[in-house]
Amino acid sequence: MKRFLHHCSILLSLYIFSSSAIAFDYADALQKSLLYFEAQRSGRLPYNQRVTWRDHSGLTDGLEQGVDLVGGYYDAGDHVKFGLPMAFTVTMLSWSVIEYGEEISYVGEMEHAFEAIKWGSDYFIKAHTSPTVLWAEVGDGDTDHYCWQRPEDMTTSRRAFKIDENNPGSDLAGETAAAMAAASIAFRKSNPHYSHLLLHHAQELFEFGEKYRGKYDKSVGVVKNYYASVSGYEDELLWAALWLYKATDKEDYLEYVINKANSFGGVGWAITEFSWDVKFAGLQIIASKLLQEEKHKKYSHILEQYRSKAEHYICSCLDKNNGSTNVERTPAGLLYVRQWNNMQYVSTAAFLLTFYSDFLKKSNQKITCHEGTVDHEELFNFAKSQVDYILGSNPRNMSYLVGFGPNYPKRVHHRGASIVSYRENKGFIGCTQGYDYWYSKNGPNPNVLIGAIVGGPDNQDDFDDDRANYVQTESCTYNTSPLVGIFAKLNFFNNPPLIASF
């Protein structure tokens, strides 16, 4: 038994050594990740569309309700436009640009990053038809999942659902406000008029969500089986207020985050995930950064509590909290939060840890966890290890970023990618026809969904590349969006610009 354990430890050491020696092309990963958002576009595609196997779709969205809801993103492998995950996707894309814009520009990808944000934010402007009306969803999961069709052939219901004064949805209004506030910061220099418009919508949406409180999944019942708001709406209202403070510098928004810190759970919840549903960790990490500025000293008592919870999240990711409060890991070291689409939690964690590592470095600070102190370097290296696992540093040598490297998932659970391109074959494919011929096909998808990050391996690092295995092979916009900035940062870190010496 001892010899077996010794043999295992040697193999593990060899694996760790060989995986750390892999040098990844992060610039290529960044370029591919931004390409993915073009594959997820709904609506009339522009002249510069680079994903050529896609064509126009959803051109009558909102027509039944007398409103123009053409555009936006399909969230995953289906064709429903779900407002909450779409808004979170745009928030994270915008945050990537705000924090790592220089690094994205260094690769020459800023224009594509702006396009990815704007495709979502343009849709939110359309969907916010009056101060207290926001269209929450187009299509419904039940009828959509009955069919396996290309988006260009869609025959499913395109009914639209809204939140308003009588049917509140503070979580959806809050996240959409956060997305538009963050986007307004991202566009401030390059497109000030557009930035101002986004900020106007963000402020109205926040006021709407705050005044008419309620969970959106109670008002829009069809979303319950797909994107139920388990965490409630308090985290989104705090999150929106904080982004609006960053966008406007208006004290009222910061006071909201301070005054409701306790009653809304901002300093009460110690959370070990950050996602489209649960915003507390992101909120706590941004709030922590405010402690550095002199003008925030009067709020230091509450901001310290935010920081304590932020560092609980970080320590739990690093396996340095007390026992059961740590995030689980697979044998090869991947963060493991839950079975279904686990990669979403890995990519958001990688973003928050990198962001906080930058903060610690600039402020020359360390974190004290239950299991010891952590510096910015340890934080950064761990975040990098998670990204490298995604790109192929894992026992299967599998890249979970589709199209990256020699070995990646070929049977992504995605209607459009799994059926012959509409551009190649315009013959109509009926609702269940896709199941009959394309869904059950053993071969690779005819269209490569470049830049998609799939659900990923299970808790033993195993992965079954099967189209029907949607738990592992379906990709989502919010899996990829947090990594846009991180790929740029890692590329910049590995390939810093040459400074001329005189």
C-beta separation of 171 from 229 below 8 A: yes
3-state SS string for 346-391 = HHHHHHHHHHHHHHHHHHCCCEEECCEEECHHHHHHHHHHHHHHHH
Q: Which two tokens stand for residue 405?
A: 């490297």
- From the list 112, 376, 413, 414, the catalytic residue is 413
The per-type count for the chain, helices as H runs and strands as E runs, is 20, 7
Q: Which two tokens stand for residue 370?
A: 């239950």
CB atoms within 10 A of CB 498: 6
Radius of gyration of the chain (CA): 22
Q: Which two tokens stand for residue 215?
A: 């969970």
Distance CA(116)–CA(186), nearest Å, equals 12
Distance CA(391)–CA(24), nearest Å, equals 8
Amino acid code (one letter) for 179: A
Torsion sign over Cα 70, 74, 80, 85: negative
Indicate the Cα dihedral angle 118, 123, 124, 125, nearest 10°.
90
Written as one string, the DSSP assignment of 212-232 is S---HHHHSGGGHHHH--TT-
Q: Which helix (H) or strand (E) holds 146?
A: helix 141-146
User: By C-alpha distance, which of 100, 228, 94 is closest to 487?
Assistant: 100
Distance CA(219)–CA(228), nearest Å, equals 11
Question: Catalytic site residue 413?
Answer: yes
The per-residue b/e assignment along 423-444, b for 16 or more CB within 10 angstroms, e otherwise, is eeeeeebeeebbeeebbeeeee
C-beta separation of 120 from 127 below 8 A: no
Query: Angle, nearest 10°, between helix axes 192-211 and 110-127?
Result: 40
Q: Which two tokens stand for residue 240?
A: 């929106």
C-beta separation of 198 from 139 below 8 A: no
For tokens 């909120």, name the residue.
Answer: 283
Beta bridge partners of 328: 336
Residues labelled as active-site residues: 413
